[in-house]
Copies of this chain bind each other. A is one copy, B any other.
Amino acid sequence: MAKAGLTEEAVLRAAIAIADEKGLNQVTLKAIADRLRIKTPSLYTYVDGLPGLNNLLAIYGLQTLRNELAEAAVGLSGRDAVHAMGSAYLRFARKNPGLYEATQSVNKWQDERTEKLSSEVIDLVGKVLAAFPQAEKDQTHLIRMFRSICHGFASLDRNHGFGMPVSVEESFFLAIELMLAGIQSEYCENAG
């Protein structure tokens, strides 16, 4: 009986692979154990059951998303920063569909770490939107609009909700463009 030398990270990696290949609901302890060539109960050494594993997935997904959003906006400001961050968001969701899915079920568990990571993502969005002249109070509205567009596109795209043979990236770019145009027309030119 050779020891596989597993770690929490190895289990997480296997889970991510299954999630991205077959969807989050295919991430079972059985499937992970099979992939790692061990028996299911052995996994309990590394993760706290299926709920604990889902939490790990959410944390890792949010960390990755936060890092990629932050990196995307480096050195950019204004419209460019918003577009870059939006593109990074969509790219992350497409490249890591299972992991992205995991980040969405976060708020069911009220974990301290996921709460903090979610805040950090929202703060990043807030920063790139802060360049636009909007009433203090509307900051939350605008963050919500941006997040909804990003998540809406990511989610519908993942569920094959976009059937037309038209580039999703192009649609997404235009959506961000119209959002920004809307902000500028509401708050600057036609104010009042």
Contacts and interface: CB of A to CB of B under 8 A. Distances in A.
Contact of A149 (B105, B148, B189): B148
A156 interface: yes
A147 B161 contact: yes
Interface string A147-159: 1111111011001
Contact of A144 (B151, B162, B177): B162
A166 B184 CA distance: 22
Nearest to A153: B148
Contacts of A175: 141, 144-145, 148
Interface residues of A, number: 44
Contacts of A29: none
Max count, chain B CB within 10 A of own CB: residue among A141, A162, A177: A141
A184 B182 CA distance: 8
B147 A150 contact: no
Contacts of A140: 164, 166, 171
A16 to B, nearest CB: 20
Interface in A87-142: 104-108, 118, 137-138, 140-142
Contacts of A67: none
A183 interface: yes
A178 interface: yes
Contacts of A179: 178-179, 182
Contacts of A118: 161
A144 to B, nearest CB: 4
Interface of A: 104-108, 118, 137-138, 140-142, 144-145, 147-153, 155-156, 159-162, 164, 166, 168, 170-171, 174-175, 177-186, 189
For the complex of A and B, the 10 pairs showing the least CB-CB separation, nearest first, are A148-B152, A152-B152, A178-B182, A182-B182, A181-B182, A145-B175, A107-B160, A185-B185, A141-B171, A144-B171
